[in-house]
Structures are given as C-alpha cells and as structure tokens.
Amino acid sequence: MKYLITIVGPTAIGKTALSIALAQQFKSEIISCDSRQFFKEMRIGTAVPSSEELAAAQHHFIQNKSIFENYTVGDFEKEAIEKLEELFLTNDYVVLVGGSGLYVDAVLKGFDEFPEIELSVREEVKQNYELLGLHYLQTELEQRDPKYFEVVAKENPQRLMRALEVCIGTGKPYSSFLNQKKNTRNFTPILIGLEAERSVIYDRINQRVDIMLNEGLLAEAKELLPHKNRNALQTVGYRELFSYFEGEISLEFAIEEIKKNTRRFAKRQLTWFKRNEETKWFDYLIDRQEIIDYIKKKSNDNSNGNDKNISNIEIPK
C-alpha cells in the first residue's frame, strides 16, 4: 500500500520542520501544499523554507510558478497527483504539508466540480466589487452561504467573488457543491495535525512577522507594488504594506494589521482542518517519535499486516 502522510495545522506551528523529519525518517519526498509558496517572487512574505531546509529533503511545488501565471487549485490538483504517481513508483510514503485547506482537500479527495456560470453574473459581481468594495462581497456571501463564509479567506476578493458567482448563478450555496463524489486515489492518507494553545500560536505568528521584516519583507513588497492587483498578491503580508506604500496607513499600523490578519487566518485554518475527523492532532512540542509510532500503527492497521516495510523502519532515539 501507498501512504500519503499529510501534515496540517495553523501557520507558524512548525509543520515544515516536522515534514522534513518525517521525509528523512521514511526516506521520502515532500509535496508542498501552501498556495502562497508556489510563487517565486514571494519568498519572504510566505515563509518559504530556508535553503538549509530545502536541502534537507526533496521538496516539490515551492516557488515553481510566477505571479504572472494563472494557476488554480484545479491546476495544482492535476500536477500534484501526477507527481504523487511518479513518487509512489519508488516510495511507499510521501509527505504532504501545508496550510491551504482547499489545496489539501483537492489532493486528498479531488477537486469539486462546479457548474458553468454565465458571464453576465461574473461581470455583475466584479462591477459591484469595484464599486462597493470588499465589504459588499463579505456581506453578500455571508447572507447567501454562511457555512462557506465561516471558513473562506475573508480578505481574499478572488475567493469571495468566485463563491458569490456560484451562489448567484445557481441559486444554491457554494458549499453545496463541495464534498461531492471525488476521484479515487491510489494512496491512503494518514493525517497529522499540529496544534497549540491559541496564545502560543498568536505569539509564534507575531514573532514570525518580526522575523520576516528583519529579513527584508518591506523591500520585497515594495518591489511587488506595481503588480499589486495580481491574484497571488491578494494576501496577508503584502496587501497591508501596499496600503502603507500608497500613504493610506502608517508602517506601524500596517505591521499590526499583518499580525492581526495572520492570526485571523490561523483561526480559519484550524476551523477548516478540524472538520476532518480522520486527523490525529498532536501538540506542536510532542516528541516526534510519538508521531512516528502513530504512523507505523496506522500503516500496519490499514495494510492488515501485509506491509512489512513499515515494521523495518528504525526510529531514531
């Protein structure tokens, strides 16, 4: 059997370090499922793994695209499944890691199919957004689909517009098209979640933002300012600094907004990932051997004792 060790959890919780440790343990490679880290122009603001971390295990889907390319979750699903099929030819285990819940679900279950929406509906939503702003999208979507509104990235106009288009165009909630029958997968997922007390998560987020600023986030964002309308840049860490560069807010306020919006993002991540009852949650400080033991047990249980490979793995002390 083939196993996809899937590591999820809020931003700044330590998923990267765990993914590398597990990839080394199981002599495997890593599929990155962080939609912000796909883009090579956005290194600092997306906390791309360091060169040392990237060298410690083979990573895929990190800085492999440009913000000038149109890249959707459907595109990612197709490419990720193709890469997994390739890796599973020589590995019984592959590690999937990331905080983008929609992208994780696309790999594990398949991408949801939505009906075609009339162009007139899309134009109407876009024009209203340009006229009335983000608040219009948020208010309309909350009324039409409160279930999806609870977990969507509320500061991402592209996500909001897409969901609203479906709501208006079909007369049904966007969420009603989620979790339909998916494509079959040739692997068994083993889901690992990392968590901590909310105060700990928030402290780690605040520290990460400070580190990003020290590493040059301000300069990176300023270089990207001329392209601020690109879809990839409608995200926390860049949007706030664009407002600062354009004189709308102070730098101090922009930094506090980045921290606040990242904390909100982490809360939405947990809401999304906690929906999956198959996920086994561990404290972020737990001894990694306990996680490895859990993976061993799940593998043996799923293979009904036929998979001998897992029992031969040596656990480091």
Look-up: residue for tokens 């969901």?
A: 163
Q: Whole-angstrom Cα distance, residue 103 to residue 32?
A: 10
**267 known ligand binder:** no
**115 known ligand binder:** no
**14 known ligand binder:** yes
Question: Pairing state of beta strands 30-32 and 280-283?
Answer: unpaired
**12 known ligand binder:** yes
**62 known ligand binder:** no
Q: Whole-angstrom Cα distance, residue 63 to residue 36?
A: 9
Q: Whole-angstrom Cα distance, residue 242 to residue 222?
A: 7
Q: Whole-angstrom Cα distance, residue 234 to residue 228?
A: 7
Reading the block at residue 300, the tokens are: 């043996």
What is the maximal distance between C-alpha atoms in the chain? 64
**295 known ligand binder:** no
Percent helix, strand and coil across the chain, each rounded to 5?
55, 10, 35
Positive or negative, the CA dihedral 271, 274, 275, 276 is: positive
**Residue 307 DSSP one-character state:** -
Q: Give the DSSP H or E segment for 139.
A: helix 134-144
Reading the block at residue 165, the tokens are: 């288009």
**6 known ligand binder:** no
**232 known ligand binder:** no
Q: Give the DSSP H or E segment for 132.
A: helix 119-132
**Residue 174 DSSP one-character state:** G
Pick out the residues of the known binding site for ATP: 9-16
Pick out the residues of the known binding site: 9-16
Pick out the residues of the known binding site for substrate: 11-16
